[in-house]
Every structure is written in structure tokens, then in C-alpha cells.
């Protein structure tokens, strides 16, 4: 889609608003990619069938932002207004006012042409819960926060309620956090095989087995240095999360060494939540589960994604639905009383009935947490590169609508939520929990409530204090992580400097 900006009246350079325009374009017209034609705006656009023209006009009392959208079915001009005095505020506030009005005007024009409205309305970005959380912390009631989403951003009633329900958990989590607390993530970037939908930095253990032991040795060094820096800065760890990849691709001995190092070096005295993603059932053994239990791990994941064997085959999994049930039963037998299970709506060869059977099968295993993801086509994944028949957005929406109904009926509550680019139907991922079984780590990580220190390949530490966020990134791939380990360890000093 061609995106034209009449540049003369826009505060800041038009390039500053490109991202906002692109976000709304992807929401309304997900198959499009932005183009920015060079030169002045053409005097005659009557022949355009795939373009948007952005203009701003400041009047004495009101400022109008107009977005004229051309599509094959016709054209429409969307307008959003705000008081002109808003343009006299500090520069960054002016930017946010203008980019919000730009999105709303684009949304009005696009939905008028499409004849439909996306479920999340004009909200873009990955964290729709931030808005109601901010409103509720500022003193608004849940009802007021819900109305703001519906009237100010055109969010559908069911999604607005979902966001406010998750905001309630976010507010409670934020109020429970103490000064000097952080959370910690340890990444294990190895899996038995690579799933077709996956774009994470994870390696197929069958081809990279020789890297696993050196990687564990590298992590032991990073854990030790991180513990030293955190203690010197007076920081303690509130929640601990080991993810991947699939952490249980490590042997029982490797896992024992790594968790022992964490206990000996990290400030875990005040830690209230320990999670390890066991994940793939073809990596779960009684011996590994016993090691996790011995190291105070209280919450694990056994993630099926689907219980339809033909769908498991389509996504490249080398196990069956029966293996998932056996792994869950084994975890219960070892003594785990908090298990999370993930499902993905929209997988290749899946259907509404297949998804329904999968969720009913998961609920029969009575997990304390259920996370329902919407398939997102990610760059670098096999599905993105090779394509394949997928359920359409309408069918995926039915899957999610039904999941909300059945999970609520079975006593689960939504507690965290996020969105991604290129999600089927512009929908969402939602974490559900039995009351009292919410994962604090998931909330603080997704809502950026406090610092999360990330270790291992692909780790991104987010240092958060007084509204400031500083990111420290580790090399993405295990080989690069190992070759650059000295630099990774040296970067840990930035944590102490940030909190000084």
C-alpha cells in the first residue's frame, strides 16, 4: 500500500509517524506492505486503488487529521479531531497526540471500506492490557476502563472485558511488588525438533548435540556473574523462569548442575515462584522431573499445542497425543501441583472441531494454567517460508470465542494477554489460571512491571526503573553466545550502574 504524507503541517518529520501508519495498515489490511513514493503528492489520485493519504490541518480551536484511503472497492476519508492547544504541549506529548489521532482516522476510513471492524478496534501493539491497567491504577473503576476501550478505541465488548479482567491481575501483581525485586529468565535454546510455526532462536538437538554441554558450562559462568552483580546492587529475585526452546532437552545431570548453580549464586531468598518449561513430552522423564522437584520448581509446562495426532504431524512434532497424557500423568505422580498447558488456535490441518477436542482433552487433565495462543506467521518459521493450508480468520475466531466460554465455565480466569504481528484474525494470546495459580512472571514480563534479567542465548534483559527501560541483549545463537561470552559477562556491570 502506498502511504503519502502531506508534510507541511505535521509536527516532527513525517517519518516519525510511519510506524503508527504501518501498525494500523497491518491491522486493517494484513496482507499489505508499506511503500513511500518519492516526490510530491500527485495532484490526481483518482486512479489509485491501494493507497492512503495523511494530512493535518490546524484550525483555531480544533486540529483535523484526515486519512483518505483508496481501495478497489472505492475510497473513504476518515477524520479525527483534537483541540489545537494540544499542539502547544511538550514535543513528545504532541507526538503521542498526533500519532493516536492518525491511527483513529486511518481506522475509520479503513473499516468504512471493509464493512467490518477488527476485534481489538484501533488498538495496535502487543500489550493492550497496559491501557486499562494504567487507568485503574489512576483511580478509574473497571467499568470506566472498559468504556474507555470501547468508545476511545472501538474495541469490541468481549475483548474490552477480557483486557480489563487481565488488567485486574496486572494491578494486583504491581501492588505486590517491592522495591529492589527483579525477575530472572534462563533460556535453553534447544529442542528435539523444530516446530513448523516456530521462529525462536532454538536449535535442533539432533544436529547440535555437541553444543549443549559447552552451552551449559557457559550458562554456569553467566549465572555466577549475574548473582554477584545482583547481590552487590542489593537486588533480589521475586520470580524465576527457565524457558526455551525446551529446557528438558538437557539431561537430568545437566539440569541438576544448572539449578544447583542458580541456588548457590543467585539472590533467591525472597523468590516466590519457580517455573521450568518442561514443554515437549518427548523430553520428559521421571528422572528429570525428580531433579526439578528437588530444586523447588513448583510450576512446570507440559505443552501439547494440539491433541490431534495429524496436526502434531503437520507441525513437525515427533510425539503423539497419548505421549502428552502420559507426561502429564507422570508429572502429577512425581508431585507437581501446578501445571501449565499450551494450545494454539489456527494450526495447519486443524479445524474448529479438532481444536474443541484438544481443549476438552486438556481440561480433562485438569491443569492449573491453560494458555491459548493464536497462530502467528513469523519470519524464519517453516510455515512462513513454505506456506500451507491454514484455518481462516473466521474459524480461528470461533476457536478463541469457544475457548473463552469453556474456560470460564470450568472456573479459569484470564490473567495475562498479548498480541503479535501477523496473527490470524488479528486476535490474541491469553493465559488462563485457576484462582490463585496465576504466574507472576508472565504478568511482570508481559506488562513490563519490573526488571527482568535474561540469561543465555537470545536473552534480552529489560532494566526498568521510574518509567525508564534499558535493554541489554545477548547474542542470539548458541555458537555466538559462547564465542562472545566474555562480552556477555562484562555487560552485566550495566545492571549495577542502572540501579546505582
Confidence check: pLDDT of 114 > 70 = yes
The 8-class DSSP code of residue 451 comes to -
Q: Give CA–CA dist 151/345, Å, rounded.
A: 29
- Give tens-digit pLDDT for 436-495: 999 999 999 999 999 999 999 999 999 999 989 999 999 999 999 999 999 999 999 999
43 backbone dihedrals φ, ψ, rounded to 5°: -75, -25
pLDDT at 383: 64
Confidence check: pLDDT of 50 > 60 = yes
pLDDT at 379: 62
Least confident of 52-56, 201-205, 370-374: 201-205
Question: Do the Cβ atoms of 101 and 20 come closer than 8 Å?
Answer: no
- Give tens-digit pLDDT for 387-402: 567 898 899 999 999 9
The stretch 139-161 carries a mean pLDDT of: 97
- Give tens-digit pLDDT for 345-401: 999 999 999 999 999 999 999 999 999 999 987 665 666 556 567 898 899 999 999
Where does the chain hold its CATH 3.30.160.100 domain(s)? 1-116
The stretch 136-143 carries a mean pLDDT of: 96
The Cβ-side half-sphere exposure at 366, using a 13 Å CA radius, reads 5
One DSSP character per residue, 135-150 reads HHHTT--HHHHHHHHH
Q: Mean pLDDT across the chain, nearest whole number?
A: 93
pLDDT at 330: 97
One DSSP character per residue, 170-230 reads HHHHHHH--TTEEEEEEEE-EESS--TT--SS-EEHHHHHHHHHHHHHHHHHHHHHHHHHH
Query: For the chain, what percent of residues have pLDDT higher than 90?
Result: 83
CATH class of 1-116: alpha beta
Burial of 364 (0-12, 13-18, 19+ CB in 10 A): exposed
Cα dihedral 409/414/418/422 (nearest 10)? 0
H helix intervals, 29-141: 91-114, 130-137
pLDDT at 129: 97
pLDDT at 39: 84
Confidence check: pLDDT of 197 > 70 = no
Confidence check: pLDDT of 34 > 60 = yes
SS3 314: helix
The stretch 118-124 carries a mean pLDDT of: 93
Nearest by Cα to 121 from 147, 96, 144: 147
- Give tens-digit pLDDT for 208-255: 678 999 999 999 999 999 999 999 999 999 999 999 889 999 999 999
What's the CATH architecture for 177-494? Alpha-Beta Horseshoe (3.80)
Q: Give CA–CA dist 412/465, Å, rounded.
A: 33
Question: In degrees, to the nearest 5, what angle opens at C-alpha 128 toward C-alphas 127 and 134?
Answer: 95
pLDDT at 198: 66
Where does the chain hold its CATH 3.80.30.20 domain(s)? 177-494
Give whole-number Cα distances, 197 to 132, 285, 357, 359, in Å: 31, 25, 21, 19
- Give tens-digit pLDDT for 408-427: 999 999 999 999 877 777 79
- Strand 181-188 relative to strand 452-455, pairing: parallel
352 backbone dihedrals φ, ψ, rounded to 5°: -60, -45
- For residue 428, how far is the Cα from the chain centroid? 9
- Strand 51-58 relative to strand 62-71, pairing: antiparallel
Q: Give CA–CA dist 233/266, Å, rounded.
A: 12
The stretch 321-335 carries a mean pLDDT of: 97
Amino acid at each position: 500500500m502506498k502511504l503519502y504524507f502531506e508534510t507541511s503541517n505535521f509536527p516532527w518529520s513525517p517519518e516519525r509517524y510511519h510506524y503508527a501508519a504501518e501498525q494500523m495498515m497491518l491491522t486493517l489490511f494484513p496482507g499489505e506492505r508499506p511503500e513511500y513514493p518519492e516526490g510530491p503528492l500527485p495532484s490526481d489520485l483518482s486512479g489509485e486503488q491501494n493507497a492512503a493519504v495523511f494530512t493535518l490541518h490546524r484550525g483555531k480551536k480544533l486540529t483535523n487529521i484526515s486519512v483518505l484511503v483508496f481501495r478497489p472497492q472505492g475510497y473513504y476519508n476518515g477524520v479525527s479531531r483534537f483541540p489545537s492547544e494540544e499542539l502547544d504541549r511538550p514535543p513528545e506529548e504532541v507526538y503521542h497526540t498526533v500519532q493516536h489521532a492518525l491511527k483513529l482516522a486511518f481506522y475509520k476510513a479503513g473499516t468504512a471500506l471493509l464493512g467490518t471492524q477488527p476485534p481489538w478496534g484501533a488498538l495496535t501493539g502487543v500489550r493492550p492490557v497496559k491501557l486499562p491497567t494504567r487507568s485503574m491504577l489512576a483511580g478509574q473503576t473497571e467499568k470506566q476502563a472498559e468504556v474507555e476501550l470501547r468508545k476511545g478505541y472501538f474495541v469490541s465488548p468481549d475483548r474490552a472485558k477480557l483486557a480489563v479482567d487481565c488488567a485486574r491481575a496486572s494491578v494486583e501483581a504491581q501492588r505486590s511488588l517491592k522495591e529492589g525485586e527483579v525477575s530472572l529468565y534462563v533460556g535453553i535454546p534447544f529442542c528435539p525438533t523444530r516446530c513448523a510455526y516456530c521462529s525462536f532462536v532454538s536449535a535442533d538437538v539432533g544436529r547440535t548435540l555437541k553444543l549443549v554441554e559447552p552451552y551449559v558450562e557457559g550458562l554456569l559462568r553467566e549465572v555466577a556473574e549475574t548473582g554477584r552483580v545482583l547481590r552487590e546492587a542489593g537486588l533480589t529475585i521475586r520470580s524465576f523462569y527457565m524457558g526455551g526452546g525446551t529446557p528438558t532437552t538437557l539431561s537430568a545431570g545437566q539440569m541438576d548442575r544448572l539449578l544447583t548453580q542458580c541456588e548457590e549464586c543467585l539472590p533467591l531468598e525472597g523468590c516466590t515462584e519457580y517455573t521450568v518449561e518442561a514443554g515437549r513430552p518427548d523430553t520428559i522423564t521421571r528422572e528429570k522431573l525428580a531433579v526439578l522437584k528437588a530444586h523447588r520448581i513448583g510450576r512446570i509446562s507440559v505443552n501439547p499445542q494440539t491433541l490431534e495426532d495429524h496436526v502434531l504431524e503437520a507441525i513437525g512434532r515427533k510425539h503423539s497425543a497419548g505421549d502428552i497424557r502420559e507426561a502429564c500423568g507422570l508429572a502429577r505422580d512425581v508431585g507437581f501441583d501446578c501445571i501449565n498447558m499450551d494450545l494454539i488456535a489456527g494450526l495447519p490441518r486443524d479445524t474448529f472441531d479438532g481444536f474443541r477436542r484438544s481443549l476438552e482433552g486438556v481440561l480433562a487433565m485438569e491443569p492449573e494454567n491453560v494458555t491459548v495462543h493464536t497462530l502467528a506467521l513469523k519470519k524464519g518459521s517453516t510455515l512462513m517460508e513454505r506456506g500451507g493450508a491454514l484455518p481462516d480468520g473466521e474459524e480461528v475466531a470461533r476457536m478463541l470465542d469457544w475457548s473463552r466460554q469453556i474456560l470460564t465455565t470450568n472456573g479459569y480466569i484470564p490473567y495475562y494477554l498479548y498480541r503479535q504481528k501477523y496473527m490470524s484474525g488479528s486476535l490474541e494470546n491469553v493465559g488462563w489460571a485457576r484462582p490463585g495459580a496465576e504466574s507472576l512472571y508472565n504478568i511482570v514480563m508481559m506488562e513490563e512491571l519490573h526488571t527482568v534479567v535474561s540469561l543465555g542465548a537470545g536473552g534480552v534483559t529489560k532494566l526498568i526503573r521510574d518509567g525508564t527501560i534499558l535493554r541489554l541483549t545477548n547474542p542470539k545463537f548458541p555458537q555466538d553466545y559462547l564465542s562472545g561470552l566474555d562480552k556477555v559477562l562484562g555487560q552485566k556491570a550495566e545492571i549495577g550502574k542502572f540501579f546505582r
